[in-house]
């Protein structure tokens, strides 16, 4: 009988990129498999919920759960995994902060269903008859679908989370480090984010190109200019979320001459959109009359500032009943 610690991986509302990170461990995955017993990973192997139900409480040493919570099935399985795991790690930005799926909080469930199943140009004229229902009778058989929630929730809205590892996705190196820390017991205090608590700009090698008194006359979208590959994006008048985003990724986007879009979320105790608004307030140097034009490079401020952190934001969601 194995004595290796048992580990699980599960996904909720997400794209699958965090599962790719596990695969992208490449040959390091052999070290992980040598050190732990993977007892639940339905994305890669044929496990059933009944396999988890049969485990003793706390039997898994750790479970990495990625994805936001959007359906009652996801909430049910997250609660089951919480019961069966000594430690739960919110793995990836969707589990930590809602991620890209939480941009749906800027509209309503009804509007999404209407667009997807009735008004989309690719839906045929019979559209309305194909809207999914929670319960449908087909002859003598009753088919059930899990309820789709009105809001996209982060994992710790429904269960206690022990550690957070954001990123869209977290890098394989960060996952390997987190697994190593779990196995060695060398972990920071419970509820910690397993990443440095400083802004991405602090590590970025373009930071030194920022003038001491950085001001710009407005912001442009990245496709509208040819970005200098050496100079800070903000100093070029291109929105870069570096000042409001947690360090730890190794800034691959900036190295590829694309500005940071903020996928590692905010530093502790802060709201990513509020921090970015404050950062821009300090550098956009135009009079009130020219402000709209200066901000034309951010056509969707909520979607830009909270692209990965809507469920954890001060904004949260549009008010219920608002037209969308």
Residues in the site for ligand SF4, rule: CB under 6 A?
200-201, 204, 206-207, 232-234, 240, 242-243, 245, 249, 251-254, 259-264
Question: Shortest approach of ligand SF4 to residue 205 CB, angstroms?
Answer: 8
Question: Looking at beta carbons only, is 115 or 221 nearer to ligand SF4?
Answer: 221
Pick between residue 67 and residue 92 the one whose CB is nearest to ligand SF4: 92
- Burial code (b: 16+ CB inside 10 Å, e: under 16) for 264-278 equals bbbbeeebbbbbbee
The Cα–Cα gap between 242 and 232 comes to 10
Residue nearest to ligand SF4 (CB): 242
Q: What is the C-alpha separation between 102 and 33, in angstroms, rounded?
A: 33
> In the bound complex, what is the minimum distance in angstroms from residue 237's beta carbon to ligand SF4?
11
Closest separation in Å from C-beta 212 to ligand SF4: 14
The nearer residue to ligand SF4, 90 or 232, going by C-beta atoms, is 232
Burial of 322 (0-12, 13-18, 19+ CB in 10 A): exposed
Q: How far is the CB of 241 from ligand SF4 (least distance, A)?
A: 6
DSSP state of 93: H
Supply the DSSP symbol for 146.
P
Q: Tell me the C-alpha distance between 4 and 6, whole Å.
A: 6
| Three-state DSSP class for residue 172 | helix
Q: Smallest distance from the beta carbon of 224 to ligand SF4, in angstroms?
A: 17
- Which of 102/260 has CB closer to ligand SF4? 260
Residue number, 36 or 276, with CB nearest to ligand SF4:
276
Owner of token pair 């099935």: 73
DSSP label at 87?
E
CB of 242 to ligand SF4, least distance (A): 2
State phi, psi for 85 to the nearest 5 degrees. -120, 135
Q: How far is the CB of 199 from ligand SF4 (least distance, A)?
A: 7
Contacts of 270 (CB under 8 A, 6+ apart): 244
Question: Of 40 and 306, which has the nearer Cβ to ligand SF4?
Answer: 306
Which of 232, 79, 227, 220 is closest to 153 using CA atoms? 79
Is the Cβ of residue 67 or residue 99 nearer to ligand SF4 in the bound state? 99
234 CB-near residues (< 8 Å, 6+ apart):
210, 214, 216, 240, 242, 243, 279, 283
């Amino acid at each position: 009988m194995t004595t290796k610690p048992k580990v699980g991986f599960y996904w909720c509302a997400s794209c699958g990129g965090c599962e790719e990170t596990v695969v992208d461990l490449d040959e390091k995955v052999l070290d992980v498999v040598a050190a732990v017993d993977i007892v639940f990973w339905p994305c890669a192997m044929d496990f059933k919920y009944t396999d988890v139900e049969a485990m003793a409480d706390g039997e898994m040493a750790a479970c990495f759960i990625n994805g936001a919570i959007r359906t009652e099935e996801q909430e049910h399985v997250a609660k089951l995994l919480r019961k069966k795991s000594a430690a739960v790690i919110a793995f990836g930005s969707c589990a930590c902060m809602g991620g890209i799926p939480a941009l749906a909080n800027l509209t309503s469930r009804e509007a999404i269903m209407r667009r997807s199943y009735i008004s989309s140009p690719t839906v045929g004229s019979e559209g309305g008859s194909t809207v999914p229902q929670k319960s449908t009778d087909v002859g003598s058989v009753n088919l059930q679908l899990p309820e789709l929630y009105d809001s996209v929730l982060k994992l710790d809205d429904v269960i206690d989370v022990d550690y957070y590892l954001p990123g869209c996705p977290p890098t394989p190196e960060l996952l390997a480090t987190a697994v190593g820390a779990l196995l060695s017991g060398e972990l920071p205090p419970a509820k910690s984010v397993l990443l440095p608590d400083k802004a991405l700009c602090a590590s970025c090698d373009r930071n030194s190109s920022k003038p001491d008194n950085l001001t710009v006359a407005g912001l442009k979208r990245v496709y509208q200019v040819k970005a200098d590959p050496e100079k800070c994006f903000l100093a070029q008048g291109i929105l870069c979320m570096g000042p409001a985003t947690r360090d730890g990724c190794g800034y691959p986007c900036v190295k590829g001459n694309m500005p940071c879009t903020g996928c590692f979320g905010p530093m502790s105790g802060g709201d990513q959109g509020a921090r970015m608004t404050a950062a821009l307030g300090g550098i956009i140097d135009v009079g009130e009359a020219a402000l709209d034009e200066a901000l034309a490079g951010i056509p969707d401020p909520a979607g830009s500032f909270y692209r990965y952190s809507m469920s954890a934001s001060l904004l949260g969601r549009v008010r219920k009943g608002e037209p969308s």
